[in-house]
Structure 1
Amino acid sequence: MDFSGKVAVVTGGANGIGRAVSLGFARHGAKVLVVDRDAQAGAAVAAEIGKAAIFRQADVTRSTEVQGYVEAALEAFGAIDCFHNNAGIEGRVAPTAEYDEAIFDAVMGVNVKGAFLGLRHVLPVMIRQQRGAVVNTASIAGLVGTAGMSAYVASKHAVIGLTKVAAGEVGPLGIRVNAICPGPIVTRMVQDIAKQVSPNNPEGVEERYAASIPLRRYGTADEVANLVLFLCCDLASNITGAQYVVDGGRTAAPVGVSQGSVR
């Protein structure tokens, strides 16, 4: 996976999966624009990378700010070859019948509108270039339902839909668009969900969920980053419009009573 001479833009690049992807692109030779609302953490990631990276603070729900980070990438580096459309929030854990409308709107704003605006402003650049690779961050919540997470589940289903539409539109122009569907990953977001489910014992939530995963553990941000880098590199030149699960087997074969004898 050689990204020498390539330019990558990563939204939500200050923490978790986005941070791992930003560092991964740089490690493999790319110049990187790190985008995030968190100015301090985002600037720290760019500083960790060094001269090959710059940071741009942006709210991905605002079209002018999305256009701003696209222009910043072009001004600094002259192109956008890879785009990890990753920014997202988890919202609250509550039954649909009790879910707060304002929080629902906020989740849909970042996770769906933010992803759409990223595509809306980055794809024209790639169309002019006649090349590019996009990876949208969905989730296994975009494939199955999860009680108490109506906004997040709905938003990630929508990201997969956006991925398929965009892939069909720009494929003939040499541009690929895919989605990743992480399961539980060791990040602040997953830890926050566990705290919401059980404020007094979040570790217990993680232990119970990990026990239902065939690999018996949560994934790491670096493991997800490896998938993003693969989908953006030339090794994946015939892959577009797909959603790739990275969840330790959770959605394929959740561990249950019937599998107890295999231990």
Structure 2
Amino acid sequence: MTELHGKVAVVTGGASGIGAATCTLLAARGARVVVTDIDNERGEAVAAGLGEHAVYVHTDVTREDDVAGAVRAATEHFGRLDAMVNNAGRVGAWTYVTDTTADEWDASFAVLARSAFLGTKHAARVMREQGFGTVVNVSSVAGVRTGFGPHPYGAAKAAVLQMTRSAARELAEFGVRVNAVTPGGVATRITGHGAGLEGDALDASVAAVRKGLASFQPVPRAGEGEDIAGAIAYLVSDDASFVTGQNVVVDGGLTLGKAWPGNYRAEADAARH
């Protein structure tokens, strides 16, 4: 198991889903965590559950001052910054490209791509001076293949992957690593948001999403926040000290594509006899 004792991490979108699972796992492995989100109630609850090893900071990731403040909170509370996990996200509305508004496009890029840029920028300023640190940007299978998300969402997630590679190339000489994690079908509240659900219906949707995803990919179960958190924990650990500029896809085989039509295994067995 990857140990993270003494490390300090900032996690955006830490109030629920992949972000909450990441905060919990990093803390369980010894890290101190700055939990950030715009959902104060849920964010504070996550931090409180982690005890003295975590603090909550309200952070709107589309605002540069907020992101800079989250990074500053890490150094002020814990004296350093080892990891920046740019996870905050939104799905946005599913619309034809001809019906997608410029405002919707801009809103998606602000939360998904601009936020990852801001997190990388301000974390790198601290890490470059320290001579060490790692950034993990959370992308999506929608950023590597079509059909897995709305047009603005997929385009923004693809931009995150390219920025990850570009920043990794620049920052390597300063001892700073930058990688991405690409989740597939994960049962979280953000999926329900994409379907337009709110409140109690949103919470209930997670169970429905989990059931639906069980037959959606080669690994016959839904992805969970903990699956993605495990990959993030590896990338921020010293075990990954020689890994930078990479995209770790954690998707249950979703991007492998569909199997051949029909029960080809049974047909192949029958042909051999």
* Aligned residue in 2 for 1:236: 240
Among all aligned residue pairs of Structure 1 and Structure 2, give the percentage whose two residues are the same amino acid. Answer: 40
* Aligned residue in 2 for 1:143: 144
Instruction: Return the offset for 1:147.
Output: 6.7
Instruction: Return the offset for 1:101.
Output: 2.3
* Aligned residue in 2 for 1:174: 175
Question: Residues 69-80 of structure 1 correspond to what in structure 2 (within 5 A)?
Answer: 69-80=70-81
1:225 maps onto 2:216 in alignment: no
| Distance 1:262-1:218 versus aligned 2 partners, 3 A rule | farther
* Aligned residue in 2 for 1:49: 50
Q: Which has the larger radius of gyration?
A: 2
SS at match of 1:107: helix
* Aligned residue in 2 for 1:126: 127
How far apart are the structure 2 equivalents of 1:165 and 1:3? 26
| Distance 1:8-1:147 versus aligned 2 partners, 3 A rule | closer
- Alignment RMSD, CA only? 2.0
Post-superposition CA distance 1:9-42 (Å, at most 9, x none): 1000111000000001100011110010111111
Instruction: Return the offset for 1:205.
Output: 7.9
| Distance 1:104-1:252 versus aligned 2 partners, 3 A rule | same
* Aligned residue in 2 for 1:102: 103
SS at match of 1:218: coil
| Distance 1:221-1:261 versus aligned 2 partners, 3 A rule | same
How far apart are the structure 1 equivalents of 2:41 and 2:209? 30
| Distance 1:225-1:94 versus aligned 2 partners, 3 A rule | same
| TM-score of the aligned structures, taking structure 2 as reference length | 0.89
* Aligned residue in 2 for 1:152: 153
Instruction: Return the offset for 1:204.
Output: 8.4
| Distance 1:115-1:257 versus aligned 2 partners, 3 A rule | same
- Structure 1 residue ranges without an equivalent (≥5): none
Q: What is the aligned length?
A: 258
How far apart are the structure 2 equivalents of 1:52 and 1:220? 24
* Aligned residue in 1 for 2:10: 9
| TM-score of the aligned structures, taking structure 1 as reference length | 0.92
1:84 maps onto 2:85 in alignment: yes
How far apart are the structure 2 equivalents of 1:43 and 1:147? 32
Instruction: Return the offset for 1:66.
Output: 1.0
Question: In structure 1, what residue type is equivalent to 2:103?
Answer: A
Post-superposition CA distance 1:79-129 (Å, at most 9, x none): 110111111111111111111322221111110111111111110100011
Question: In structure 1, what residue type is equivalent to 2:54?
Answer: A
